[in-house]
């Protein structure tokens, strides 16, 4: 059976991030993508001009409708927006035993806040303990852990702090750090695994976090071990970055379909 990924996230009208990036990623990696839309954003490469939250009952209903019929082999959670949406997602996933990749989306590339301040506590309390993998970037690491992250040692310390909140593993992403190489750390209760790749210098990097987390979810849905799923996802992202189509005047989308070109 084709690996099935249920994506719980917001919509990006520009197509570079959110469920649009998620669907492209899962499809290109051989999976089937179903979605539960949490918000509709008015967005392009220059930024987010508006956000319309989907009613919590509709979010919860979408999740249950997919799981009751099509089913899923893994779940990816992205933009949630507010505490009531987080509570709805937690209710819908009660009793669900599937790999969950949680990307704690807080701020868009252009700087717009995508997670309200009062929702952070709900995220930590209700969803972090359910996550197989948490995938924070450096700013998200700092908010969630309360640790100022300036180097790799800080990344590891913050990731270990977050493990205490209950996720099975943390992938601390170093894309916001300075340097010609990008370093990520996969931290579990038993291991620390370092990933390194050359930095792609480009403004066309919108949706990289969405893409990476969905690619990992696609790997877990296919039965890959976590470290292998992360390694494959990082390779896919690197190729997609180098194949960005150059669209838009700001932070443009990456080339999800590079393999078809």
User: In whole angstroms, what is the distance from residue 225 CA to residue 211 CA?
Assistant: 19
Confidence (pLDDT) at 67: 98
Please give the model's pTM, rounded to 2 decimal places.
0.96
- Name residue 102's beta-bridge partners: 77, 134
Yes or no: say if 31 and 222 are a contact pair by the CB < 8 Å rule. Answer: yes
User: In whole angstroms, what is the distance from residue 128 CA to residue 108 CA?
Assistant: 21
**In Å, what is the CA distance from 35 to each residue of 21, 44, 95?**
12, 21, 19
Q: Which of 7, 61, 64, 63 has the alpha carbon at shortest distance from 33?
A: 7
User: In whole angstroms, what is the distance from residue 78 CA to residue 104 CA?
Assistant: 6
Q: Which of 137, 173, 6 has the alpha carbon at shortest distance from 76?
A: 6
User: In whole angstroms, what is the distance from residue 43 CA to residue 209 CA?
Assistant: 16
User: Domain limits of the chain?
Assistant: 4-260
- pLDDT tens for the 261 residues of the chain, in order: 999 999 999 999 999 999 999 999 999 999 999 999 999 999 999 999 999 999 999 999 999 999 999 999 999 999 998 999 999 999 999 999 999 999 998 876 666 667 777 889 999 999 999 999 999 999 999 999 999 999 999 999 999 999 998 999 999 999 888 888 999 999 999 999 999 999 988 999 999 999 999 999 999 999 999 999 999 999 999 999 999 999 999 999 999 999 887
Confidence (pLDDT) at 75: 98
Pick left, alpha or beta for residue 99 (phi over 0 → left; psi -120 to 50 → alpha; otherwise beta): beta
Tokens 């392009």 appear where?
44
Confidence (pLDDT) at 176: 81
For residue 114, the SS3 value is: coil
Mutual angle of helices 83-92 and 56-69, in 10-degree steps: 20
Distance of CA 224 to the CA centre of its chain: 18
For residue 56, the SS3 value is: helix
Confidence (pLDDT) at 149: 93
Confidence (pLDDT) at 179: 81
Topology annotation, domain 4-260:
3.40.1190
User: In whole angstroms, what is the distance from residue 234 CA to residue 238 CA?
Assistant: 6
User: In whole angstroms, what is the distance from residue 132 CA to residue 102 CA?
Assistant: 8
User: In whole angstroms, what is the distance from residue 126 CA to residue 87 CA?
Assistant: 7
Confidence (pLDDT) at 108: 64
Confidence (pLDDT) at 111: 62
* Tokens describing residue 186: 């996969």
For residue 48, the SS3 value is: strand
**In Å, what is the CA distance from 80 to each residue of 56, 90, 123, 166?**
10, 11, 9, 19
Yes or no: say if 10 and 59 are a contact pair by the CB < 8 Å rule. Answer: no
């Amino acid at each position: 059976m084709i690996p099935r990924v249920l994506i719980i996230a917001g919509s990006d009208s520009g197509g570079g991030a959110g469920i649009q990036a998620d669907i492209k990623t899962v499809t290109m990696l051989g999976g089937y993508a179903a979605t539960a839309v949490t918000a509709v954003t008015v967005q392009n490469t220059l930024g987010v001009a508006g956000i319309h939250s989907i009613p919590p009952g509709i979010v919860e209903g979408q999740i249950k409708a997919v799981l009751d019929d099509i089913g899923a082999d893994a779940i990816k959670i992205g933009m949630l927006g507010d505490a009531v949406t987080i509570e709805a997602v937690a209710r819908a996933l009660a009793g669900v035993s599937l790999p969950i990749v949680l990307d704690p989306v807080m701020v868009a590339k252009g700087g717009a806040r995508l997670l309200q301040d009062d929702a952070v506590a709900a995220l930590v309390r209700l969803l972090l303990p359910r996550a197989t993998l948490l995938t924070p970037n450096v700013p998200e690491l700092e908010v969630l852990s309360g640790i100022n992250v300036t180097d790799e040692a800080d990344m590891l310390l913050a990731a270990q702090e977050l493990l205490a909140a209950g996720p099975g593993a943390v992938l601390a992403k170093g894309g916001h750090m300075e340097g010609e190489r990008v370093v990520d750390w996969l931290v579990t209760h038993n291991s620390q695994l370092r990933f390194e790749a050359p930095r792609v210098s480009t403004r066309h990097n919108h949706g990289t976090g969405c893409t990476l987390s969905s690619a990992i979810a696609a790997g877990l849905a296919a039965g890959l071990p976590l470290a292998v799923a992360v390694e494959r996802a990082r390779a896919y992202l690197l190729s997609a970055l180098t194949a960005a189509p150059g669209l838009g005047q700001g932070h443009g989308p990456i080339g999800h379909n590079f393999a078809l070109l």
